[in-house]
Each structure stands twice: as structure tokens, then as C-alpha cells.
Amino acid sequence: MKRVWAIAGIAVRNAVRSRVVVVMLGLLLLAIVGLPLTIKSDGTVSGEVQVLLRYTLGAVTILLSLATLWAGCAAVAMEVQDRQIHLVMTKPVRAGELWLGKWVGLMTFNAGLLVVAGAVTYGLLLWNLRGERANPQVREEILVARRVVRPEPSPVYSIPPGRAVRFTFRLPQTPVADRPLILRYRFASSLTDKNPVACVFVAGAPARADRWQQQQFSAPGGVHTLAIPPALVGADRTLTVDIGNIHPVPLTMVFDPRDGLAVLSYAGTFAGNFARTLAVVWCGLGFFAAVAVTMGSLFSLPVAALVAGEVVLLAHIGASLRTLAGDESWLRGVYVVLYWLTKPWQMPDPLAKLATGELVSWGWLGAVGLWQVLVCGGVLAAVGTWFFNRRELGLPA
Amino acid sequence: MIEAVHLTKVFTDFWRRPKVRAVNDVSFAVRAGEVFGLLGPNGSGKSTTLKLILGLLHPTSGRLRVLGRSPRDVQTKKRIGYLPEDTYSYPYLNARETLTFYGMLFDLPAGVRRERTAQLLDMIGLRHAQRRPVGEFSKGMARRIGLAQALINDPDLVILDEPTSGLDPIGCRQVKDLIQTLRARGKTVLLSSHLLADVEDVCDRIAILYNGQIRAQGTIAELLEQKSQYRLTLPELPAAALQRILAAARAELGREPVVEHPRRDLEAFFLDIVAQARRAAPEAGGVGPSAGVARYLTADEQLRKLVVPPKT
């Protein structure tokens, strides 16, 4: 491991002394401070917080991803071009140690920058929520980590006029007593107007005498929330919710089976969620770094950067590929193949979860780390090492 | 130490079509403990041969063994020190960090690394510049760092590509002294150069390459000795005695013998002048005075380690 640390140390030292770190810090701080001033929120404190968390951290992620791709490709390709590799590979250094050293150096650099960017964003968030701006809505809906529980599959997701439909939510843990459960819902209406629709929500087991009931006027298309007392959850951790359509004008309420209904239960603090989200972002950067170092081991810098960019782009346009694969285009077959090839890398956006107060769980972080860093990184390392071992480093320029 | 049999290297283009036959059916052997020189004009295949020996290029055909193994074997590389034609160091590292880095690649313990780094910095006269980034060094100073990194592992086989290129006469002399010290310790040195005087000074055997092929190979004496002629060097003699000797030679040869005063060589004269100047102004800039060959590279140091029992 001494050789790996030595190579990683060189990468970090070069980044610091060539002022790459200073430039990157400058760009990141500019994005963190400048972006919230240029993007318009909905005018509420919640909106401002969501812009800061989603778009600012999103910009940080994009900047670090681009820097990682470039630096990763350059890490080996430039050393081959400038022939510093002649002095390294004539020492007892294995190709795998070189690959790992470059990756570790890059990820140390990323970790440092991500910690600074995260700390500044968090500081800015606290400053933004000083005094009365930290209202209960922000605290309960955004500055929290809530587990999202979808209803058990139901044969019906549409509610005709004057009818009610029952949905059952099976919670993985007993809810915290002093934290309300949040029912989040969104529906479409069979009418074209967007006037609020009268509906009624009844929560609790049907046999209970103390069932909770709330009448609501909710606009179709919007996301709405309702606080439900956690005591209504049964001993088997099941929550039953009946939704009734009581609108005076006949219309049908239609819930999207994928994200039309969910119960959010308290699962932890915002600080922990924030840290785990940054860790998921870091794992994503680990995958980018692995792609880039491998490409840099195989090709010259311009070719490596181009190929690595293409690979990362393909891996992250899964949603678009899915849409394209559904079209009746003569390229449909290509899109279908690309969609299935890139499917393993398609995952929910952790920043979207953080900005809506959804839990980024340890389990998810572990799965992302295992898949993106260990499995994908390991395969890329093996490919990069195998080809690098066969490469002639002393060829004339 | 090195055995090359019918070694051939053909460079190809992108479509694998032959482009240049840089090394063409070359066979030679470098024995343990000798200084072997590869001579040749630019483009003769010297550097390509060295890169094949170092595993940086793969032979197209032929057989190549270095220290009894494949040149690409990690165990082989542990015992090799390499100074490339240009010093390809990391410009943002300083001299000490550069040597420490290469020491770490050889997995040297921290104490040994520190000790050797200090000795090597003294040897190359750059202790005063050890905190300066290598990127700010002059070509000669960078060359010295390159030489030091080639010796950090106390190698059994030292491969030097144009070792005196970019060095001043003092540096050249130090390199030659170093090579002789290494030979005295039984180390093997393979050097490539087109500076014929340097090669003649230090090499036991040479091979002359031209257009990728060996044109001549052997010891310096075998290749350069003119057995049909003699040179007679005499101490200062009275004029009459000299005339008697010349008359005898004239009678024997049947023609006038060549008589001239021997000259000091320019290198020795230059080194003498610089040594005097340095005594007069010891704080001059640039490369400092060398403390001599690093202790760990000398036979004395090795003997001391054998004789002095380790502290308990």
C-alpha cells in the first residue's frame, strides 16, 4: 500500500501546488453563493431552502464531476505524454497500484472539496433560516429525514364521484410518538379546470372508534400534505387511509400509482441526512473517477476525455433513453439496448430527496457505495490495469 | 545480467503496418560487475534498446532476459536504477520530496529513505536547494536529481541514458567517478552515450550501434589498441640524453620520430581552476560542492555495515 499512498500523495500535492484546488474552491464558492441569487424560488422560505439544497448542491456536483472526469483522464494520460510514467513504471510498481493510487488521490481531492462545499452550504442554510424564518413548515418538511412509504398495491387508483377508496401503508418501523406522519398526495382530475376538489381523508383501522378525519379542498396537479397523528398506526405498523371524493360537481380523482400517494415518517435528523447525501454524491464521483482513470490508462488525453464523457453521459440519461425507447423511431432498438445497458447506473437523485426532506438511508448509501465504487470501480480497475499492462509506454511521441 | 538474443523492435503505424525497424537482430550480453557502453549516433537504436531492457517497449522478436527474468517483472525492477535521457520529474515536487517519492515506490523504510535522501542530496550538491520545486531547476540540476533517484534503491544494475548530457565538466567528472565507484562495488552499469570520451573513460566493453544493428562489440582495449604502433613517454631528460635516444630511434625507424610535450587534458585543467575558485568564494550559487559519492553507495559503507554489530 505504500506505493499506492505515494502515488495518491503526488496527485494531491500536484493539485494543491498547481492551484487547481484554489480555482476549484473559487468556482464552488461562486456557485454556492451566486446561484441562489440568480435562481428564482416560489418566494417562500421553503422554496429558497429547496433552491439552495437542490440547485446549489447540484451545481457543486456538476462542477466536481467535470473536474473529476478531466483530472482522472489527465492523471495517467498526461504522465504518459510527459513521460513521467517512464520513471514510475521502471520502479517495482504494478499497473493496479498505479490505477488505485491515481483513484485514491482523486477521491481524496474530491472529499476535501465536497466537505468544504457542504460546510459552506450548510452554514448558508443556517444563516438563511436565522430568527423567524425557520418556521415549523420548513423544519417539519425539509429540515428533517423522513422515510417514504408507498401504499400497498391497490386494484384501484381512481375515485369516482361520491365513492371512497382504501389505501394501506405498511410502515417498516413504529413511528416516533411526538412526530406526526405526513400524508403526501397528488392527483389529477377528470375535469380540465384546476379548481380545488373537495375530498375527505379518514385514517386509522376501520374497527377503531377514534378514527381521524379531515376534509380538504385540494387543487389537482399540486402536491399536498396532511399531518396524521402517529397513534393511528396499528400494532402491526399498518396505517389505513380512506380517501373519499365528495366534490359537488361530478369528477373522478386519479392518483398516479408510482408517486401519487405516500406516507412520510420521521427517520432522523437533517444533519445526518445532509452528510449521507454528500456521501452518495461522493460515491457517484468515485464511479466517474474510475471511468476517467481507466480511459486515461488506455488513451491519450483528448480521446480519453471524449470517451469518458460519453460513458458518463450515457449512464446518466436513463430517463430520456427510456422515453426514446418507447418511441416508434427507426433507432428504437438502439435506445432499448442503451437503456438496458445503462440501467444499473440509473438511480434517484439524492439531492431531490434531501430537498424534500426524504431519508437518504444508510442502506441506500451502502448499496450505492457497493455498486458504484466497489463493483463498477473494481471492474473498471481490472479493465484499465489489464490494458495498461499491455501498453507500450516508451513509444516515440 | 542482461542477455539479448536476436532482439528486434519494429515500430508500426495505427494499422499495424511496419514503420521503422529501430532495433534489428541485436545480440549482446552484459556481465555482472562490468560497465557496458552502447554507442551510436542519434537514431541508431540506443534508447530503444534501453527501453526494451526496461520493459517500456515490448520486443517484436528475439529473447531478452534481465537479471534472469522478464524485463517487465516487478522483481527485476526492484534491482534496477534508471536515469532517462531527459529527467521526467514532477515539477511541483521539491528535490527532497522527489527522492522520498521514488524511495517509497521501492518500499524503502522511512529511516532508510531519509538517510539515503540526505546522502544523495549531499552527493549531487543540491542540499541547499532541497526545498525548491524541481520545475524551477536548471537542466543540470534536474539531471542531478534524475541521477540521485536512479540510485535511491542501491541498484544492482544501473541503466544510464546519456548520463552526462546537460552536466557541466564537474558534474561529468562526478558521474564518471560514481560509475567507477559502483563498478568497484561489483555493480553493473549499462550506459548509452554519443560522447565518446566519456565512454572511453569508464566502460569496460562497448557495442557500437548504427541503424539498429551492432557494428562492433568488445573491450575498449580490443577495439582501440593499435598493436602495430608504440607510444613512449619519458620523464624530463638532459638534452644530450634525449638526443641519444632520438638518434637511436631515427636509426631504427629510418625516419624522424614524432616528439612532443604531453598536455594535461582540458577536463583536469578545468576542474583544477574551479576547485581553486571555490576555495576562494565558497558561497557561490547554483550547484554546491559535492560531498563525494553517497556513503551507502560506497564499499566502505557496506563493509562498515557488515563489521559493526547492530545496536541492541
Phi, psi for B27 (deg, rounded to 5): -130, 130
Kindly report the nearest CA distance between residue B159 and chain A, in angstroms: 11
Q: Where are the domains of chain A?
A: 2-134+270-390, 156-268
Mutate to test the interface with B, among A2, A22, A82, A91 (most CBs of B within 10 A): A91
Q: Hey, are the CB atoms on B105 and A88 less than 8 Å from each other? A: yes
Kindly report the nearest CA distance between residue B132 and chain A, in angstroms: 13
What pLDDT score does A17 carry? 86
Q: Hey, are the CB atoms on A87 and B97 less than 8 Å from each other? A: no
Distance CA A81, CA A393 (A): 9
DSSP, res A294 = H
Looking at residues A53-70, what average pLDDT do you find?
A: 90
Q: Looking at the domain that runs over B2-307, which CATH code has it been given?
A: 3.40.50.300
What pLDDT score does B303 carry? 52
B204, with CB counted inside 10 A (0-12, 13-18, 19+), is middle
Radius of gyration of chain B (CA): 23
Q: Looking at the domain that runs over A156-268, which CATH code has it been given?
A: 2.60.120
pLDDT higher for A46 or A123?
A123
Distance of CA B261 to the CA centre of its chain: 31
Interstrand relation of B80-83 and B18-30 (parallel, antiparallel or unpaired):
unpaired
- pTM here is 0.84
Q: From the list B75, B88, B106, which residue is nearest A84 (CB)?
A: B88
Spell out which residues of chain B touch residue A82, defining contact as CB-CB under 8 Å. Answer: 88
Q: Hey, are the CB atoms on A13 and B97 less than 8 Å from each other? A: yes
Phi, psi for B117 (deg, rounded to 5): -60, -45
Interface predicted TM-score (ipTM) over 0.85: no
To which residue does cell 432499448 refer? A336
To which residue does cell 452518495 refer? A280
- Residue A90 pLDDT level (bands cut at 50, 70, 90): very high
Sign of CA dihedral A347, A351, A356, A360: positive
What pLDDT score does A329 carry? 73
List, in sequence order, every beta strand (DSSP E) within B135-264. 157-161, 188-193, 205-210, 213-219
Q: Where are the domains of chain B?
A: 2-307
Sheet architecture: strand order including B205-210: B80-83, B157-161, B188-193, B35-39, B205-210, B213-219
What pLDDT score does B312 carry? 42
Mutate to test the interface with A, among B48, B50, B56 (most CBs of A within 10 A): B56
Amino acid in position A290: A
Q: Hey, are the CB atoms on B86 and A9 less than 8 Å from each other? A: no
Q: Hey, are the CB atoms on A86 and B56 less than 8 Å from each other? A: yes
Distance CA A72, CA A241 (A): 51
Amino acid in position A313: L
Kindly report the nearest CA distance between residue A109 and chain B, in angstroms: 16
Sheet architecture: strand order including A224-228: A145-149, A261-268, A181-185, A224-228
Residue A5 in contact with partner chain B when CB distance is under 8 A:
yes
Nearest CA in chain B to A19: B92
Q: Which of A143, A113, A115, A132 is nearest to A52 (CA)?
A: A143
Distance CA B26, CA B42 (A): 17
Summarised one tens digit per residue, pLDDT across range A193-207 is 788 999 999 998 888
Q: Is the pLDDT of residue A164 over 60?
A: yes
Instruction: Give helix A301-315 / helix A270-298 axis angle, nearest 10°.
Output: 140
**DSSP per-residue letters across B183-208:** HHTT-EEEEEES-HHHHHHH-SEEEE
Asked if A212 contacts A228 with a C-beta cutoff of 8 angstroms, the reply is yes
Q: Average per-residue pLDDT in chain A?
A: 88
Nearest CA in chain A to B71: A90
Summarised one tens digit per residue, pLDDT across range A242-298 is 999 999 889 899 998 888 899 999 988 999 999 999 999 999 999 999 999 999 999
Q: Is the pLDDT of residue A61 over 80?
A: yes
What pLDDT score does B286 carry? 59
Residue A397 in contact with partner chain B when CB distance is under 8 A:
no
Q: Hey, are the CB atoms on B105 and A396 less than 8 Å from each other? A: no
Kindly report the nearest CA distance between residue A11 and chain B, in angstroms: 10
Summarised one tens digit per residue, pLDDT across range A333-382 is 787 787 777 777 777 788 988 988 889 999 999 999 999 899 999 999 99
Spell out which residues of chain B touch residue A4, defining contact as CB-CB under 8 Å. Answer: none
Q: From the list B51, B78, B105, which residue is nearest A6 (CB)?
A: B105
What pLDDT score does B288 carry? 65
Largest pairwise CA distance in chain B: 78
Spell out which residues of chain A touch residue B152, defining contact as CB-CB under 8 Å. Answer: none
Sign of CA dihedral A370, A374, A377, A378: negative
What pLDDT score does B310 carry? 45
Spell out which residues of chain B touch residue A90, defining contact as CB-CB under 8 Å. Answer: 54-56, 77, 80, 82
Residue A20 in contact with partner chain B when CB distance is under 8 A:
no
pLDDT (tens, 9 = 90+) of chain B, 312 residues, equals 899 999 999 998 888 888 889 999 999 999 999 999 998 888 888 989 999 999 999 999 999 999 999 999 999 999 999 999 888 889 899 999 999 999 999 999 999 999 999 999 988 888 888 899 988 888 888 888 998 999 999 999 999 998 888 788 888 888 888 888 888 888 899 999 877 888 888 899 999 888 889 888 888 888 877 778 888 888 888 989 999 999 999 998 888 888 888 877 777 777 777 777 777 766 655 566 666 777 777 766 655 554 444 444
Summarised one tens digit per residue, pLDDT across range A173-191 is 888 888 888 899 999 988 8
Calculate what percentage of chain A has a pLDDT beyond 70: 98
Kindly report the nearest CA distance between residue A8 and chain B, in angstroms: 11
Phi, psi for A204 (deg, rounded to 5): 115, 160
> Cα dist. A224→A149, A156, A216, A220, A297 in Å?
16, 20, 10, 10, 51
Looking at residues A328-333, what average pLDDT do you find?
A: 76
Distance CA A393, CA B311 (A): 45
